[in-house]
Amino acid sequence: MNSTVIVDRVLNIAHRGARSLAPENTLSAARKGLEVGADMWELDVQLTADGELIVIHDSTLKRTSNAEDVFPYRRPWQVHEFTLDEIRKLDFGSWFMEQDPFGQIAAGVVTDKDLQSYMGEPAPTLEQALLLTRQHNWSVNVEIKDLRNKPGNNLIVDQVIALVEKLDMVDMVLVSSFNHKYLAQSAASYPHVVTGVLDTKPHGRPASLLRRLGARTYHPRKIFIRPADIPRLKRQGFRVYIRTINDRKTMERLARAGVDGIFTDFPQVLASIVTSYGRAKA
């Protein structure tokens, strides 16, 4: 989901690294999302111990890597306590094959060839993820993880945007965060960068929140937004992207409600809905 909706589609597709088809926050997941027709992918970025921007969702390495086996004495395996070189020694793919978190391996959706390719999958740096995005003339939502009370809290916004600017990708990147101070900092220092608001609770006046933070997009959970707020926000020049929707019926209802985009772990499902809506509108 970028700042321009594709003209011949009802809504844009975003995905969280096609998590149902490949290990989350990996380049393989990004490629899968691109393959099935997603308009944008979403990733999570944080800092390593040596200040490198790394794409990992959790604050620890335990769930999505073999850090327990490789570094058995480094409990609880906090990301910010490991250098980039140490993280590069880890396998971020095999857990997906073992756990089949969305049941798509058992359903036969994920091929044996794909599974073999996921073995030893590394966690990408943000630069690697951005370069893949640029290579395909694609878009990416970079969610900056909340590092308050951790090293790099005061640096990560500047580092992320400096990299985006260095790669000349401002028009391809949407920056979001649950840490609203990061969004305000970005708006104050980099008003040309599009930002999106994530929140852990409903907000009674989302437009006021967006204006205060200088943000242009709103990314609530479905239960956090009233249906009437969607057209109201759009009339005021904001975009509404709902997270995280994985069932077809809800996707269809949101499309009819006029949302600009949907975050999903199943971009292959949403892509089919967008295509059918496009035909209906033609």
Residues catalogued as catalytic: 15, 57
Distance (Å, rounded) from C-alpha 159 to C-alpha 149? 18
Closest CA to 214 of 202, 241, 230, 196: 196
Radius of gyration of the chain (CA): 18
Residue 72 Cα distances to 61, 142, 161, angstroms: 12, 31, 35
Helix (H, G, I), strand (E, B) or coil at 200: coil
| C-beta atoms surrounding 157 within 10 Å | 25
Q: For tokens 């969004």, what's the residue?
A: 183
Distance separating alpha carbons of residues 281 and 200, to the nearest angstrom? 35
| Rounded distance between C-alpha atoms, residue 113 and residue 233, angstroms | 44
Cα distance between residue 139 and residue 143, in whole Å: 13
**Cα maximum dimension of the chain:** 60
Would you give the distance in Å from CA 278 to the centre of its chain?
24
Tell me the β-bridge partners of 186.
Answer: none
Identify the CA nearest to 129 among candidates 219, 46, 249.
46
Q: Under 8 Å CB-to-CB from 156, ≥6 apart: which residues?
A: 45, 46, 47, 53, 144, 147, 182
Q: Give the span between the Cα atoms of 119 and 107, in whole angstroms.
A: 20
